[in-house]
Chains A and B, each alone.
Chain A
Amino acid sequence: MRRLALLLFCFATSTCVEAAGFKGDKADQVKLERWQCAFCPFQQTPNSVTFNLRHLPKQAQQLRNQLGQQSQTDVGLSAQWRKTSEQSGQWQAQTTQLGFDSFSASASWRSNGQQKIAMSYRQLSQNLSTMQTSPYGGWSSGQVSLPDNWQPQDQQQNFDRSDWQQPRLDGLVWRQLMLDASYPISERLLLSLQWQQQQREGYRPIAVNQLVQSTQLMSPVDEKWQKLALDLDLDFTQWDAGISYQRHRFDNKLTTFGYDYAFVGFANLTRGESALAPDSEGNVVSGYFSVPLERGNFYLTAGVSEHSQQQTLLPYSTNSELDSSLPQPTWHADTQVRWSKLRAQHWLNSKTRLQFNYQWQSQQLEAPQVIWQPVINDVYRAEEQPNPYYDRQFGRLELLMRWRSDSGNQLTTGYRSHHKYWDWTEQSNKAYQQDYFTSFHGKVGKSSRYDFSLTHSDQQSSSSIPDRFSGLVTHFYPMLSKQSDRLSVRLHSPLTSRIALSWHGFGQHTDFDNLYFGLESQRSVGLGSEIGWQLADNMQAEGSANWSQHRSVNALTAPGNFYQTDSTTRYWRFAWQHQDLFDKRFDWGLSFERNLSRQELDIAMATVSDSWSPYQGSWYSLALNSGYRLSRKQQLQVTLRHDKAYHYSWQQDLNYSNQINDLIALDSSNQAYRITLLQLSWRYQW
């Protein structure tokens, strides 16, 4: 009680401590009025405007991850603008890529680093491949359809793809608008307000099925998410705390997605329908508290969130012969998640400290449990079953000790336990995992260092899940008991003052307590190396090579009858960069980067074995950029960049129409892209 009173006293009497950095004993003797800083070249952040004219082929859409520029036209104009002012506080406004598909803009105003109002907007396009074609149309309606002359295909027939069309290429567009404001109510109390809206509009690849036949489609997307957050932070010398409230809402204009069946189906059955995410809303209240202790510190955060949705249900089936009345036309559900995290740290001495972490989370689903009679694949009526009704709890406790020597070596060792618990009303399922881990971070000489870590995990699970949940997913989702060991080593050493080399490797083995069918064991090993070489002051090179192998062993039909899958992945990367100043006005740079990856898959069974076509990915980029300063305020820049990418995978969207029955895939038979970007930029600065 006395301690609590002291804390309250501190809260009431604490005064502001002026920011100071390092303060020597004689700091108070300094006569700052004499420190004129007459030679300090104070600068104001320059204002600038840049115009970019560029030529970029449409194929660049498929290289968006590497290029960062997307386009639906070959020639484009974009602008960047940046303006800063110190009048009436500080404000700054900036736009980037104005005119390209991806666009961002931001503006902020600050007063002495305290009050702040900021706005930002950004847009991101996920364009589709130009190679994809489909027999479907009506993409924007949410009810995609086949052409009138479409003949439902028997699985023994080949597809006639002559009249397939290209879906829209603009894919999915993300738009994010954010408003952020903070206001110091007092020297110790900061109030922050944030509002954020995200909107997604466009199309997303989706597969739909008709028995075992499957078709890839474009599902329309038109959804919006909004969040309002209010934070209050208290900052005191002895402790600090904060409380936060968030309200968020998800609106989906499309809650169903209908499609024509492409294959010969059940009598009079020509259409299917899927349910998309319904509208929902939620509230989150959380807080934190942090305080220094006698020889350590303490941090606690806790919160509760609730999420609810109300949806109108679809009919059981589009097949009128199998459809029956629903138990209820709508379904309302709430979930409540509560969590707390607690962390405490205590120094035993100046080199050794103990740390205690505890995390707890609980999720409760509050929804009416109803007996449903679902229909499987519009042909078979399933057995009656209730929708899952479960509560879930998760806890993790961690105790660790860290020791650090004067020379910088650091030893960490600890224990961690996880608890998972599901309450299925009639039965419960538990999983309990214990980890023992130790790691050592050592130094050799002045700059070489090495890391070593070893972890042993043991997970025990009660495998009973109520039989009444005959749905495929819930019935076959046990938490397998398993034991796992992992070892990893990393060595980093500068060979010379210009060359740094690092090596790393890991090995992991997991045994599953699987008494009959399914996964028996997994084993992963990997090796890798990176090198960084500063060839000259203006030239550098990087390289890396990684190899890893994953093996899983499954029991196939009976104990002792296994099939074994080996997956081997190799990855190489090389990058080289040179930048030079030709004279005071003219600079130029050249860079090259190449990535290569390859994954092989081998499957072995009791009597046969097979190797599947390897997954291969390759990307290289060669870029030349050059700048010329026209005057103190104007600069020209030319960028020429050539990129080539090649991806092949049996999992990716290949043309299967003549190779595989039962599947209509969006056609993307050529995954090799080669594009050249040419951009001319003019920048004016004042």
Chain B
Amino acid sequence: MMMVSYLVTSIAVLCLLLMSNGSNAEQADKLEQLNSALWQLKKQADYSRKGADTCLRCHDNSGSFPVLDIFAGKHGDPNHPQSPFVHLQCETCHGPIGDHDARRLAEGESREDMFTFGNSGNLTADEQNQICLDCHQQQQAHWEFNPHAQSNQTCTSCHSIHQANDRMLQAESQAQTCGSCHQQQLAQTKLASTHPIASKLMSCNDCHSQHQKPLQTPTLNQTCYQCHADKQGPRLWPHQPVDEDCSTCHEPHGSQHKPMLTQQSPFLCQQCHGGVSHAGVVADKDAFLSNDNAATLLFNRGCVNCHTQVHGSNHPSGSGLQR
């Protein structure tokens, strides 16, 4: 396996060196191909004479899309060196004004478009995101591999620019924002056994990295160990699925089964321990168990009533994970 790994890595690095050209000419060509007609139009357009003062003659908080709250956030901060308002103001993102502010329009004629953002924006997702990523370069390096990028999400699908508080940067609203698409996960946070997400004591990006890789750490288990350090081991008597993948048994977004188990005990355990000994004898209490009573291995915490150290034991007598 290790040899295969080194081989694959070596081939990939070799391909990288052969394909890299040290400049971004081809990358730029690719972006040019993606550019829409509006993008090309704005590329040539004139900028306004007075910047934001030109825009604010018409755009204020009275329309269907109030804009003035941008001045309560970072993007409207004139003291921040990377703020659009230190550069080309509104036209930094919405493109040069061109004929958009034409005083008189003939009947049936519509005003020239400016760039608009979001799912109903008039640019492609790649074009919209390119404008944001031009400043937010730290996110650029990994964005194109991100599932969000690959499903045509735009930055403004999640982020709110013309608001004082970006909904993605507030723990109170982040789960709701993510949950507008990830509805199943949002619903799970309201089940009987969950992380404290619904109560705003945790947020999605405590575990997930929205711009880069799916998780904050390279592996799922390492993400869990960030808080559950006592589960890391090594153990004198390990339980193999624990070292492999926490999600084998746990559903981190929430479950009906405490503590966030993917299936109730003993059925969860039986997916591996299904064939022998008492673990396989589940089922009908009247048929198998005396006194019309069920046994500890079926009820309550099921198998864990006895195999308490299910994450692995450090006891010399803990080979059965019982102590």
Contacts and interface: CB of A to CB of B under 8 A. Distances in A.
Contacts of B24: 237-238, 292
Contacts of A36: 50-51, 53
A610 interface: yes
B199 A476 contact: no
A64 to B, nearest CB: 6
7 closest A-B pairs (Cβ-Cβ)?
A68-B199, A35-B51, A518-B275, A517-B275, A518-B274, A471-B319, A6-B22
A478 interface: yes
B85 A37 contact: yes
B22 A238 contact: yes
Interface string B13-43: 1011111111110110010011000000011
Contacts of A662: 295-296
Contacts of A42: 71, 76-78
Nearest to B85: A37
A83 interface: no
B18 A3 contact: yes
Interface stretch (A130-138, A144-152, A344-352, A622-630): A344-352
A129 B174 CA distance: 29
Contacts of A382: 317, 319
Contacts of B105: none
Contact of A272 (B198, B222, B323): B323
B22 A9 contact: yes
A597 interface: yes
A617 B256 CA distance: 9
A212 B295 contact: yes
B240 A477 contact: yes
Contact of A102 (B142, B201, B241): B201
B19 A293 contact: yes
Contacts of A316: 316-317
A340 B9 contact: yes
Contacts of B293: 659-661
Nearest to B299: A660
Interface in A1-28: 3-4, 6-7, 9-10, 18-27
Contacts of A650: 299
A274 interface: yes
B227 interface: yes
A605 B145 contact: no
B315 A314 contact: yes
Interface in A330-368: 331, 333-335, 339-345, 347, 350, 355-356, 358, 360-363, 365, 367
B282 to A, nearest CB: 7
A477 B240 CA distance: 8
Nearest to B233: A335
A10 B286 CA distance: 77
Output the residue of A30, A303, A311 with the most chain B CB within 10 A.
Answer: A30
Interface string A635-664: 000000000000101111110100111110
A19 B199 CA distance: 37
A21 B84 contact: yes
A402 interface: yes
A24 B43 contact: yes
A2 B190 CA distance: 57
A477 B84 contact: no
A313 B92 contact: no
Nearest to B272: A477
B62 interface: no
B308 A313 contact: no
Contact of B88 (A27, A307, A530, A565): A27
Interface of B is mostly: loop
B53 A517 contact: no
A387 B313 CA distance: 11
Contacts of B256: 569, 597, 599, 615, 617, 649
Interface in B120-154: 131-132, 134-135, 137-138, 141-142, 144-145, 150-152
A300 B12 contact: yes
A466 interface: no
Contacts of A659: 293
A508 interface: no
A413 interface: no
A552 interface: yes
A34 B50 contact: yes
Contacts of A69: 199
A4 B21 CA distance: 10
A238 B24 CA distance: 7
Interface string B97-124: 0000000000000000001000000000
Interface string A460-482: 00000000000111101110100
B299 A275 contact: no
Contacts of B45: 24, 26
Contact of A410 (B50, B77, B144, B151): B151
A392 B243 contact: yes
A610 B286 contact: yes
B81 to A, nearest CB: 5
B50 A341 contact: no
A581 to B, nearest CB: 14
B157 interface: no
B137 A235 contact: yes
22 contacts: A21-B131, A29-B47, A65-B199, A102-B201, A216-B301, A235-B137, A292-B24, A295-B26, A300-B12, A340-B5, A392-B244, A420-B244, A473-B307, A474-B240, A544-B187, A554-B270, A555-B275, A567-B267, A651-B264, A656-B299, A659-B293, A662-B295
B321 A473 contact: yes
Interface stretch (A71-79, A372-380, A674-682): A372-380
Contacts of B234: 307, 309, 333-335, 365, 367
B218 interface: yes
A20 B134 contact: yes
Contact of B317 (A317, A563, A656): A317
A480 B12 CA distance: 33
A335 B238 CA distance: 12
Interface string B269-280: 011111111011
Interface stretch (A50-58, A159-167, A201-209): A201-209
Contacts of B92: 20-22
A659 B96 CA distance: 76
A661 to B, nearest CB: 5
B158 interface: no
B319 A385 contact: yes
Nearest to A114: B81
A395 interface: yes
B20 A294 contact: yes
A449 to B, nearest CB: 10
Output the residue of B81, B89, B314 with the most chain A CB within 10 A.
Answer: B314
A514 B276 CA distance: 12
Given A274-B308, A299-B142, A663 B299 contact: yes
B308 A124 contact: no
A533 B238 CA distance: 51
Contacts of A64: 196, 199
A198 B316 contact: no
A654 B177 CA distance: 37
Output the residue of A208, A293, A419, A653 with the most chain B CB within 10 A.
Answer: A293
B232 A397 contact: no
Given A314-B316, A340-B9, A603-B282, A395 B141 contact: no
A278 B18 CA distance: 50
A472 B320 contact: yes
Interface string A389-407: 0001111010000101000
A22 B300 contact: no
A29 B96 CA distance: 12
A546 B43 CA distance: 49
A608 B218 contact: no
A122 interface: yes
A410 B299 CA distance: 48
Output the residue of A206, A282, A296, A476 with the most chain B CB within 10 A.
Answer: A476
B294 interface: yes
Interface string B197-220: 011110000000000000000110
